[in-house]
Structure 1
Amino acid sequence: MSFDGSFTHAMTGELNRLVSGGRVSKINQPYDNEIVLTVRSNHENYPILISANPNYARVQVSRIPYVNPHTPTTFTMTLRKHLSGSVLKKVSQIDNDRVMIFHFTTRNEIGDLKEMRLVVEIMARHSNIILVDTQDDMRIIDAIKRIGADKNRYRTILPGDTYITPPNQDMVNPFAENVDYQKIEDLTKEFPNQEVLSSELRKRIQGLGKDTSLYLAQAMHKDGAVKDKFDKFFDHFNNPIPTMIEHGKSNSFNVYPFEDNNIQYDTLSELLDNFYETKARLDRVREQGGQLIKIARSELKKNKNKKKKLQKTLDNTKYADEYRIKGEILTTYLYKIEKGMTKIALPNFYDNGNEIDISISNQLTPSENAQKYFKRYQKEKNAVSFVTEQLKKTNDEIDYFENILSQIEIANPSDLDDIKVELKNEGYLKHHNNRNTKNKNKNTKISKPEEFITDKGVHILVGKNNLQNDKLTMKDADKRDTWLHTQKIHGSHVIIKDFNPDDETIETAAMLAAYFSKARDSATVPVDYVQVKKIRKPNGSKPGFVIYEGQKTIFVTPSKEFVDQLRENK
């Protein structure tokens, strides 16, 4: 199910039950198109995520942690000015459209009560968050996305403009009292095919996504009175049973277990946290780390092309020995070369005396022809040494940038700063500040690795990028701690803060190493483990690269559920 008008209705009901009457205690904007309003209600803090993300626009209470930018945006400061300390009276919805309104009571500069509204329009790439002053003729204070007349002729969304609601769809609100059930019954009879009926229902009933309309069509084709079937279906949105319906990797969220293979949650917000956690994280990482991804992919492509050329050059050097052999044969039989010859057949004493054809120049003496082959042999021999060295460096570069892309893939947005600093220090990302930027970056404080605690109270640390990995393994870890890493697979350094961990702890740490690696979706992952004292970092090696010996290997199957459960122990 998409976050359509009907799901918006259900979420509006949940928010009213949880936070209606609460007070706004914090306002943050951790990401470009998303804000978090923390509302204190019934002695509990509720972080309300309001997202105008083009791909994952939604409103929910989110318990997923986030990191705020160092400097708040102008929109954040505007919201704090007008809404900090205000009381959230209620949350409403315009008909059954994807427009949610937060109604706040606050005080103006002279202490008089006034009402402010935060309007959330959940409309894919047109999604927006708009602060409106209701006592000033619905004047727009500001919006997270400003829309001028050049982008929308129907309405502009700019500070000082009057807020105009999205165009009326002239469709039936299924939660209103004036539903024409006869028309619904006529449609059901006219279109016996469920898919066709679902399409027709979407044209007439407001707030139906594709999945919702299909479930409604299935319900309408069951036995019973039309009114009863219709009202029962939409009652699921008034009294939801938050459900994740599993379809392999393409799971969907819903307000009711309309299908088998489902997982049920306590709240719609908890359901959405589980559904969007990975999707939204990847989207935020792609958005904030776009430059890093572009650089890594560009360098990777460049080095793969270079590798092909070097390999071709190396393949051509296999003829080097042939040049040497021809030079030696010519030297042995100089007396047989006559003036004006361009080719000669001579016995090959490396091949049982079988004749070999040798091209020669009639412009050179016999001795010069022999020396020509020796020079070509020496040139190819030198090329082998050079190309082999370059090929190794190129393979190291390919491995490095594949590792960077793997780290970005499993990173949280807060981990990107370390990767950015690393690429600057390695010279792949240009410095846009003054000459001392490089030194400043080298002294930049590296973020902390993620910490987990086992049921037995053992602490396990997981590095998420090369700078974290180097600091964790080479500086912070005790030499008697245990170090883990996926075998020959890009992934995180993992440290068990225990000098003699038992098998269960090693397996737990191995599960973490496998999950925070490129092989997190694999069934069986080999993980090496060894004491930290056996880890070495070669001089001049890339960040994150180490070598080790004396390791043991354990095979595990990574599991997101297992990692989530460990996180709850903290």
Structure 2
Amino acid sequence: MSFDGLFTHAMVHELSQLLTGGRIARINQPYPAEMVMVVRANRKNHPLLISANPTYPRLQITAVPYKNPAVPSNFTMTLRKYLEGALIDSISQVDNDRIVEFTFTTRDELGDTQHLKLIVEIMARHSNVSLVNQETGKIIDTIKHVGSDQNRVRLLLPGALFRMPPKQERTNPYLPNQHYPKLFSQFQGDQAGLAKALQHQYQGFGKDSAAELAAELLAADNLPTAYEGFLRHFEHPEPVLIEDQRGKQRFEAFPPLDPTGLTITHFATLSELLDGYYAAKAEHDRTKELAGQVLKVVNNELKKDKRKVKKLNQELADAESADDYRIRGELLTTYLGQLKAGMTEIELPNFYDENRLLQIQLAPELSPSKNAQRYFTRYNKLKASVAYDQEQLALANEEINYFENIVSQINIASPADVQEIRLELEQQGYLRVRRQKGKKQRKVQPAKPELFHTSDGSEVLVGKNNLQNDRLSFKLANKNDLWFHVKDIPGSHVVLRNPAPSDETILEVAQLAAYFSKGRDSDNVPVDYLPVKRLHKPNGAKPGFVTFRGQKTLSVTPKRLPN
């Protein structure tokens, strides 16, 4: 089931029972399109997640921890100003649409009572959260600003009058109506056709909801009982996570009529169900969202370095023909008397090649001696460029490896890891340091490496970015611990805290090191391992770069260990 109008109805019912009368204790915005309001109700804190993420828009109580940014957004500061300490009067749904209204009572700066609304629209890429003055109807602020150039019908900007989205000509299924018997008679026996007709007729029906109602109507002896019973499910939900035989998951407010071939997991509340369904998906999406600017910078640097490598390789190829210029210069010097002013070319015997004739181009505006000197100058320039080009080529290839490693780390990163990768790029000068006037820059410490355990209980630490890798390999690891890394491709530093492990344990850790690398999807990945004491970090080397000797190598299939 998608987060349609019916699921919204069930969620509003759950939140209303839990939060009505509660007070807003704290407001944060951990991600650009998501906010968390901590509501103190019935002597307990409830973190209310309100997401306008275009891929996973929703609202729920969440138990997933969030890391807040060092600097709060303008929208966060506005909500804190107007809503912290406010009481929730009501939580209601607009008709059976994916629009939820929170009404609040608070006091303004003068101590006068103020009534505000927080209007949440759960509509894919049009999702938004708007704080509105209930008396004037004007917008105080929105989580996404929508100007006239983006939407000519609705202006969602501070100071504008709030207007609801255009209303669709569909019936609210909770109002008295007699549409479904007529639809049933038209599509009797045709579940797909009936589902489509129900979705077109009734407000807030997603594809899955319409299909489930159609199945229940077709199987029922009494249509009104089946229809009303279906709607009552959303007043008293039985949240379930459903997985089909292909491994595809979906969430539902209640178990399906036909559970054949499905794996069903039950949850106590709708919010717990959404945490179970969205935890990994939303985490990956947030990582991509936060990593957008970082990836843009990294990809631009990669393009520049690859162009530089191409140019340097061409210059080195040209330098291989430097001797041709020297030979031409020597021939011109030897036969200088045969050259005349104004000549454009001349054929001379090449004493380096059995006196075969060699055609040499000349600059007519130059004297004979200067023509010879021109070839010597080109020869000297090419020879002198070889050492410089080789040095620059090595640096460019090193930087390409560095940035490809960053890209690999982003692919396995969590949002917190992305923040550390951004910090690293700021320290290396690739990203501008974000500073606010009058505020001291907060020092960010690298997060702890991720902890895993082998089958014999040994601890394994995995660095998820270069700052963590450096800290793990040179500060946290003991000199007799074993260090693992995939061979010749980007990957995490992995440390086994067992100086005398069994072969089985070494294999497990090597599989984990392959899993946290660019070779994750390969079947056969070589992994180097050696004691930590043999690692060395050259002076001035980039974060995450190490040298070593005396390693052993295993070829393994990537596999994750339990945490």
TM-score, with normalisation over the residues of structure 1? 0.77
- In the alignment, is the contact (CA less than 8 A) between 1:342 and 1:362 conserved in 2? no
Q: Does 1:466 align with 2:466?
A: yes
Specify every segment of 5 or more residues in structure 1 that has no aligned partner in the other structure, as ranges: none
SS at match of 1:342: strand
Which residue does 1:242 correspond to in 2? 240
Which residue does 2:172 correspond to in 1? 173
Q: Tell me, in whole angstroms, the C-alpha distance in 1 between the residues paired with 2:65 and 2:504.
A: 28
Which letter maps to 1:382? A
- In the alignment, is the contact (CA less than 8 A) between 1:188 and 1:220 conserved in 2? no
Q: Does 1:319 align with 2:318?
A: no
Q: Tell me, in whole angstroms, the C-alpha distance in 1 between the residues paired with 2:97 and 2:431.
A: 45
TM-score, with normalisation over the residues of structure 2? 0.78
Which residue does 1:208 correspond to in 2? 205
Q: Tell me, in whole angstroms, the C-alpha distance in 2 between the residues paired with 1:9 and 1:406.
A: 42
Q: Tell me, in whole angstroms, the C-alpha distance in 2 between the residues paired with 1:522 and 1:233.
A: 47
SS at match of 1:474: helix
Q: Does 1:537 align with 2:537?
A: yes
Q: Deviations over 1:254-299 (max 9, x none)?
A: 4446785656352543443354344433443444444332221211
Q: Tell me, in whole angstroms, the C-alpha distance in 2 between the residues paired with 1:515 and 1:122.
A: 36
Q: Tell me, in whole angstroms, the C-alpha distance in 2 between the residues paired with 1:374 and 1:159.
A: 71
Which letter maps to 2:265? Q
Specify every segment of 5 or more residues in structure 2 that has no aligned partner in the other structure, as ranges: none
Which letter maps to 2:183? I
Which residue does 1:490 correspond to in 2? 490
SS at match of 1:49: strand
Which residue does 1:343 correspond to in 2? 347
Q: Tell me, in whole angstroms, the C-alpha distance in 1 between the residues paired with 2:245 and 2:303.
A: 35
Deviation at 1:122, TM superposition (A): 1.0
Q: Tell me, in whole angstroms, the C-alpha distance in 2 between the residues paired with 1:411 and 1:485.
A: 17
Matches within 5 A, 1:44-59: 45-59=45-59
Q: Tell me, in whole angstroms, the C-alpha distance in 2 between the residues paired with 1:496 and 1:532.
A: 10
SS at match of 2:187: helix
Q: Tell me, in whole angstroms, the C-alpha distance in 2 between the residues paired with 1:472 and 1:209.
A: 49
Q: Does 1:276 align with 2:285?
A: no
- In the alignment, is the contact (CA less than 8 A) between 2:191 and 2:215 conserved in 1? no
Which residue does 1:387 correspond to in 2? 389
Deviation at 1:418, TM superposition (A): 3.1
Q: Tell me, in whole angstroms, the C-alpha distance in 2 between the residues paired with 1:503 and 1:13.
A: 56
- In the alignment, is the contact (CA less than 8 A) between 1:49 and 1:60 conserved in 2? yes
Which residue does 1:96 correspond to in 2? 96
Which letter maps to 2:390? T
1:553–1:242 Cα change, 3 Å: farther
Deviation at 1:185, TM superposition (A): 1.3
Which residue does 1:188 correspond to in 2? 187
Which letter maps to 1:178? N
Which residue does 1:479 correspond to in 2? 479
SS at match of 1:206: coil
Which letter maps to 2:237? N
Q: Tell me, in whole angstroms, the C-alpha distance in 1 between the residues paired with 2:223 and 2:371.
A: 100
Deviation at 1:313, TM superposition (A): 2.6
Q: Does 1:423 align with 2:420?
A: no
Q: Tell me, in whole angstroms, the C-alpha distance in 1 between the residues paired with 2:388 and 2:262.
A: 59
Which letter maps to 1:126? H
SS at match of 1:69: coil
Q: Deviations over 1:46-82 (max 9, x none)?
A: 4221112233221123333211233444544554566
Q: Tell me, in whole angstroms, the C-alpha distance in 1 between the residues paired with 2:12 and 2:317.
A: 67
Deviation at 1:490, TM superposition (A): 1.9
Q: Deviations over 1:533-570 (max 9, x none)?
A: 111112222221112223334555556xx56x52xxxx
Deviation at 1:115, TM superposition (A): 7.8
Q: Does 1:291 align with 2:293?
A: yes
- In the alignment, is the contact (CA less than 8 A) between 2:139 and 2:156 conserved in 1? yes
Q: Which moved more, 1:50-59 or 1:450-459?
A: 450-459
Q: Tell me, in whole angstroms, the C-alpha distance in 1 between the residues paired with 2:81 and 2:229.
A: 44
SS at match of 1:313: helix
Deviation at 1:449, TM superposition (A): 2.5
SS at match of 2:416: helix
Q: Which moved more, 1:495-504 or 1:340-349?
A: 340-349
Q: Tell me, in whole angstroms, the C-alpha distance in 2 between the residues paired with 1:506 and 1:179.
A: 69
Matches within 5 A, 1:6-17: 6-15=6-15
1:346–1:58 Cα change, 3 Å: same
Q: Deviations over 1:341-380 (max 9, x none)?
A: 822565866xxx6957554769899999988766655544
Which letter maps to 1:291? Q
Which letter maps to 1:393? L
- In the alignment, is the contact (CA less than 8 A) between 1:449 and 1:462 conserved in 2? no
Q: Tell me, in whole angstroms, the C-alpha distance in 2 between the residues paired with 1:365 and 1:410.
A: 65
Task: Find the partner of 1:305 among 307, 330, 333.
Answer: 307
Q: Tell me, in whole angstroms, the C-alpha distance in 2 between the residues paired with 1:254 and 1:521.
A: 32
SS at match of 1:309: helix
- In the alignment, is the contact (CA less than 8 A) between 2:183 and 2:197 conserved in 1? no
Aligned-pair identity in percent equals 46
1:316–1:47 Cα change, 3 Å: same
Which residue does 1:264 correspond to in 2? 265
Matches within 5 A, 1:541-552: 541-552=541-552
Which residue does 2:125 correspond to in 1? 125
Deviation at 1:382, TM superposition (A): 3.4
- In the alignment, is the contact (CA less than 8 A) between 2:98 and 2:121 conserved in 1? yes
Q: Tell me, in whole angstroms, the C-alpha distance in 2 between the residues paired with 1:373 and 1:495.
A: 58
Q: Tell me, in whole angstroms, the C-alpha distance in 2 between the residues paired with 1:327 and 1:150.
A: 66
